[in-house]
Amino acid sequence: MPKFELDDTIAAIATPIGEGGISVVRLSGPGVCDCLRPFFASSSKETVDSFLPNTIHWGKIRDSSGQVIDQVLVSVFRAPNSYTGQDVLEVSCHGGLAVTKRILGLFLGNGARHAEPGEFTRRAFLAGKIDLAQAEAVLDLIRAKSSRSLELAVRQLEGRLSQRFRKLKDSAMKLLAHMEAYIDFPEEDLEVDVNDGMLAQFTDLKENMRTLLDGFERNQRIREGVLVSIIGKPNAGKSSLFNALLERDRALVSDIPHTTRDHLEEPLEIGGFYLRVRDTAGLISTAEHPLDKLGMIRTLRAVQDSHLLLFVVDGSCPLDDADRHVFKKIPEGKPFIVLINKADLPMKLEEPELALMTRGAALIRVSAQTREGLKELERGISRFLEKETGEEGEQITRLRHKDILEKALRSLEKAEKAFREKTPLEFVTVELREALDVMKELTGEVYSEELLDRIFSEFCIGK
């Protein structure tokens, strides 16, 4: 990554490349007016330098020869009350590729440097406008694929997760200060109630850290998506059900067995949750064709990887050994929903027999043709997701946060162990300081350029 400077002016296209109603070219830095001044003529005849903060100005962008490129709106944000903490100008032009690149080229040719990925948000962090956890939330907000993941990102951007991190750090600092007070007065022995109080602080800190860590896997599913695989014997109607859930023909459907040999995966939002729904090859006890064998391997892998399985049986024929074979492949403890498909045809399957095989699991009748039961299925999936991801308070979803908390917890546990063994407090505080220093990385009180490079390289250019 290049070395970042804060005293130069950067520019980039802030909207997706391509055709659209509008495009935005963003500038930030001390020289934004210098970059825009030669090319912009305001309809009000005001000069760029005289524009007041938080105002919008209509006018025309002309190149150096005076040729009009576009009619634009210029939004003005003055330091320090801007996203980056610097002077910021945003030029809103018509959303065409040629016009947007042309306008950006004018600024780059007049002193601006092309921004690196995430550099605007990086400047916001370095200016103290947001902390590092909030900066990560900006990316999560952009990438949110469902209303639940959007909600998580917005709360983190508002600083709620950062507040929880700071409470942890403040508790550790309080405990450290308490111990250092006794180090300064070595002639004083720790009273029993003081000793118990410190142990209680250790316990409280550990419990709060573990609560955050325990929720990581669940809440990461909200951000990354829950994998739901549709499994069953050949011709149970899995692909038809897959298409019905998506409300479009994505999978090839045929009466010929083994039409699906490789799995298909598509995104879907149900109950505000982001799902990755996977159609799989029908499971059989013996696969003779090499492609069928590969299909079985991939289906079994999907069974293992999925968070939830939709076990599909054909309601138009009796339960058979093929259905039993598929059900036996569901690992112990793996959540599943039983679907009796083809409800639009005469029912030949005995529900009590199916309920006995599936250990009393709830059965949902569905029809991919008439869409009967699909709303009930969606409600069943939503209930599962609510149960799996429901957790009060702010939770972590990023691996960086998890790694830091685990490292801090290990140091805290070492400090507590030493304290219980009545090790001199000078040695106990070493581990406690280590835990505290690590926790400062959560919000970016302590950071390295390498860490910032890694985080902001994930951003798009222009944000």
In this structure, the answer to whether residues 380 and 426 fall within a common structural domain is: no
Last residue of a domain, one of 88, 106, 130: 130
Whether residue 146 sits in one domain with residue 117: no
- The one-character DSSP state at 130 is S
pLDDT for res 22: 94
- Segment 376-388 mean pLDDT: 86
What pLDDT sits at residue 297?
Answer: 80
Bond prior to 80 in cis (omega within 30° of 0): yes
> Averaged over 22-34, what is the pLDDT?
96
State yes or no: pLDDT of 15 exceeds 90: yes
Q: Locate 410 and state its tokens.
A: 């290990």
| CATH number of the structural domain spanning residue 346 | 3.40.50.300
Residue 451 lies inside a defined structural domain of this protein: no
Please give the pLDDT value at position 3: 54
Question: Which pLDDT band, with edges at 50, 70 and 90, does 18 fall under?
Answer: confident
- Can you say whether residue 221 is alpha, beta or left, with left for phi > 0 and alpha for psi between -120 and 50 degrees? alpha
Strands of the 226-232 sheet, one edge to the other: 264-270, 273-279, 226-232, 308-314, 336-341, 363-365
Whether residues 385 and 404 share a domain: the answer is no
What global pTM score does this model have? 0.80
Q: Please give the Cα distance from 426 to 149 (Å, whole number).
A: 44
Q: In this model, does residue 4 exceed pLDDT 70?
A: no
Same-domain check for residues 260 and 311 = yes
Q: Are strands 88-95 and 20-28 parallel, antiparallel or unpaired?
A: antiparallel
Nearest to 365 by CA among 331, 389, 339, 335: 339
Is residue 259 one of the residues assigned to a domain? yes
Higher pLDDT, 189 or 85: 85
Are 208 and 227 in the same domain? no
Give the residue numbers spanning the domain of 194.
Answer: 136-215+396-444
Number of domains the chain contains:
3
- Domain endpoint, select from 389, 405, 436: 389
Q: What is the pLDDT of residues 177-210, one digit of tens each?
A: 888 887 776 555 556 556 788 899 999 999 999 9
Least confident segment among 248-262, 298-312, 407-421: 248-262
- Together in a domain, 147 and 290: no
DSSP 260-298: --S-EEEEEEETTEEEEEEE-PPP-S---SHHHHHHHHH
| Whether the predicted pLDDT of 88 surpasses 80 | yes
pLDDT, tens only, 115-174: 999 999 999 999 999 999 999 999 999 988 888 888 888 999 999 999 999 999 999 999
**Mean of pLDDT over the chain:** 88
Q: Is residue 463 part of a domain?
A: no
CA distances (Å), 293 to each of 101, 260, 262, 302, 369, in order? 51, 12, 10, 14, 30
Do 78 and 58 have their domain in common?
yes
Do 251 and 384 lie in a common domain?
yes
pLDDT above 70 as % of the chain: 90
Confidence of residue 226 (pLDDT cuts 50, 70, 90): confident
Q: Over 70: is that where the pLDDT of 381 sits?
A: yes
Question: What's the confidence (pLDDT) of residue 183?
Answer: 78
CATH number of the structural domain spanning residue 166: 1.20.120.430
Same domain, 18 and 159: no
Please name which of 388, 379, 364, 142 lies closest in space to residue 270, comparing C-alpha atoms. Answer: 379
**Would 2 be classed as within a structural domain?**
no
Q: What is the pLDDT of residue 270?
A: 87
**Amino acid at residue number 455:** I
Band of pLDDT at residue 1, cut at 50, 70 and 90: very low
pLDDT (tens digit, 9 = 90+) per residue, 239-294?
Answer: 888 888 887 665 444 454 555 445 688 888 888 888 899 998 888 766 666 666 77
Domain boundary pick from 90, 109, 130: 130
249, 363: one domain: yes
Query: Which pLDDT does position 252 carry in this prediction?
Result: 45
Report the SS3 class of residue 306: coil
Residue 457 domain-assigned? no
Has residue 5 been placed in a domain? no
Contact 381, 271 (CB under 8 A): yes
> Does 305 fall in a domain?
yes
User: pLDDT (tens digit, 9 = 90+) per residue, 328-374?
Assistant: 999 999 999 999 999 999 999 999 999 999 988 889 999 988 989 99
Confidence of residue 318 (pLDDT cuts 50, 70, 90): very high
Q: Assess whether 296 and 420 both reside in one domain.
A: no
Amino acid at 6: L
Q: Is residue 120 part of a domain?
A: yes
| Structure confidence by residue, pLDDT tens digits, 320-330 | 999 999 999 99
Q: Which residues pair with 57 in a beta bridge?
A: 74
Q: What is the pLDDT of residue 78?
A: 96
CATH code for the domain in which residue 87 is found: 3.30.1360.120
Sign for the CA dihedral angle at 305, 394, 155, 382 comes to: positive
Please measure the distance between the N-terminal and C-terminal CA atoms of the chain and give it in whole angstroms. Answer: 17
Question: Do residues 434 and 348 share a domain?
Answer: no
